[in-house]
Amino acid sequence: MRVRPTRRLGEVIGLTLATAVVLSGCVASAPEPSATPTVEASSTPSPEATPTGPILRPGEAAAANRQFFDQLNNEYFDANGRGKGRSIVDNLVENGFAKQDMEVTPDNTSIGLAADSIVVSVRIKGECLLGQFLSESYVSSIEPLLGTGGCLVGKTRAIDW
């Protein structure tokens, strides 16, 4: 008996499909392990984080630095209240303001009582950043430099520490 080619082709295809189905059941159910990529050490330093808040802007006008000045002074006030002139100045210096450009009023009156407020100033490009620490709040302003070259009128405390 002679097999017709079309019938034989159909048998071959059927057998191939049946074999594929049977063999597919033999495949392991767990995935084969793959190579885990490793991170190579980079010789390029990662970029530094960009500050998100106000920053000191050396060489720029008082207005460009007021937000940073106020942030530092408000944080100081929140932690210390009116505080002391020296620690107010030290806080500003620790955060980049130049001590030689500062003035501060005394902590006490001439008869030894606590002053009602302490005023600190920073000379910047012919202007003055003024911060006033009262017992209940902190306020600031930007004022022109005085004819004397300073920012504060009256007796100020020496900043020589």
Sign for the pseudo-dihedral over CA of 136, 140, 145, 146: negative
Place of tokens 């006008």: 61
Distance between CA 27 and CA 12 in Å, rounded?
23
Residue 88 CB-half CA count within 13 A:
33
- Average pLDDT of the chain, as a whole number: 81
| Segment 112-125, tens digit of pLDDT | 999 999 999 999 99
pLDDT the model gives residue 34: 55
Confidence of residue 153 (pLDDT cuts 50, 70, 90): very high
DSSP 8-state secondary structure symbol assigned to residue 22: H
Q: Under DSSP, is residue 68 helix (H, G, I), strand (E, B) or coil?
A: helix
DSSP 8-state secondary structure symbol assigned to residue 126: T
